[in-house]
C-alpha cells in the first residue's frame, strides 16, 4: 500500500474500516425521553466549561434505531443535559450506551460521542413503553411511560431536535497524553417528525461502577415525550480547543 493510499483512508482498521463513510440517515427512529430534575452540584461536576448549565435538568433517552445507514439496527440509551454556549441553547451529550459496534466506533472517532457497549432495550408492553439499560447482567436504568396518552405538536419536537448538540472529543497520544481535546458541535438535519405524544412516566437509576447514570440522580420527573422521526446525523465542527490554552 502506497503512502498516498494510506493518506486517503478515513477510519481504522486500515484495510477494513469498522464503519462506512457518512452521511448517516435514520428512518423511523423511536425516542422515549424522560426529563427530570437533578442535584445541581452533581450537574456542575460533569458539565465542562465553557458550556453553561441552563437549569438543573437531565434528559434520559431511550432510542430505537431500526434503520440507520451504515450502522444497521440498534438501540441506545443515555443522558443529555440542556446547556448554553455563547448564548445559544443546546444540549450536552453526557453518556451513551448502545449495543452495536459500528456506531460505537464511528461515534467516538468522528464526533467524540461518549459511547460504551451495553444492552439497552425499548419495548411496548401492553399500555406502556418500557426502557431498560443493562451493563452485562446488571440493571442500571428502568423507565416506563404511558403509551400515546396525548398528542404533541410535531413542529415543536422538530424544533427541539434541530438545536445544536455538544460533545467533548478526546483522543490520546501514543504515550497516553491528550492529543485531541475539543468541544464539538453538531446538528441533526433533514428532520421529519412522524408522530409525538406525552403521558405519565417514571424513571429509576441504579448504581454501577462503569455505567454510572445514577451520578445524576432523579429528584423529580418533569416531563416525558415519545416520538418517531426520520433524520440525518450531521457532521461536526470544533468550537473550542482545550489544548490550545496550553500551547
Residues classed as catalytic:
115
Torsional class of 148: left (φ above 0), alpha (ψ -120 to 50), beta (otherwise): left
Rounded CA separation 76/71 (Å): 12
DSSP 150-193: EE--HHHHHHHHTS-EEEEEEEE-TTSSEEEEEEEEE-EEEEEE
For cell 440493571, the residue is 139
Contact at 8 Å (CB) between 207 and 138? no
Give the CA count within 13 Å in the CB-facing half-sphere of 48.
15
Amino acid at each position: 500500500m502506497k503512502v498516498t493510499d494510506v493518506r486517503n483512508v478515513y477510519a481504522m482498521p486500515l484495510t477494513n474500516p469498522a464503519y462506512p463513510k457518512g452521511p448517516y440517515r435514520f428512518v423511523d427512529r423511536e425516542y422515549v425521553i424522560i426529563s427530570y430534575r437533578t442535584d445541581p452540584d452533581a450537574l456542575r461536576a460533569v458539565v465542562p466549561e465553557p458550556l453553561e448549565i441552563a437549569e438543573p435538568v437531565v434528559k434520559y433517552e431511550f432510542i430505537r434505531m431500526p434503520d440507520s445507514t451504515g450502522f444497521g439496527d440498534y438501540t441506545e440509551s443515555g443522558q443529555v443535559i440542556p446547556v448554553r454556549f455563547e448564548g445559544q441553547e443546546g444540549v450536552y451529550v453526557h453518556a451513551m450506551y448502545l449495543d452495536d459496534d459500528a456506531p460505537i466506533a464511528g461515534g467516538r472517532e468522528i464526533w467524540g460521542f461518549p459511547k460504551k457497549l451495553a444492552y439497552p432495550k425499548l419495548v411496548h408492553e401492553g399500555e406502556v413503553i418500557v426502557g431498560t439499560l443493562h451493563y452485562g447482567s446488571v440493571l442500571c436504568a428502568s423507565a416506563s411511560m404511558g403509551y400515546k396518552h396525548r398528542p404533541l405538536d410535531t413542529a415543536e419536537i422538530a424544533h427541539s431536535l434541530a438545536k445544536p448538540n455538544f460533545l467533548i472529543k478526546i483522543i490520546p497520544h501514543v504515550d497516553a497524553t491528550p492529543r485531541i481535546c475539543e468541544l464539538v458541535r453538531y446538528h441533526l438535519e433533514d428532520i421529519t417528525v412522524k408522530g409525538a405524544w406525552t403521558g405519565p412516566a417514571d424513571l429509576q437509576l441504579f448504581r454501577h461502577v462503569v455505567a454510572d447514570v445514577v451520578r445524576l440522580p432523579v429528584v423529580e420527573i418533569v416531563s416525558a415525550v415519545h416520538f418517531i422521526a426520520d433524520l440525518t446525523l450531521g457532521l461536526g465542527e470544533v468550537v473550542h480547543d482545550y489544548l490550545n490554552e496550553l500551547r
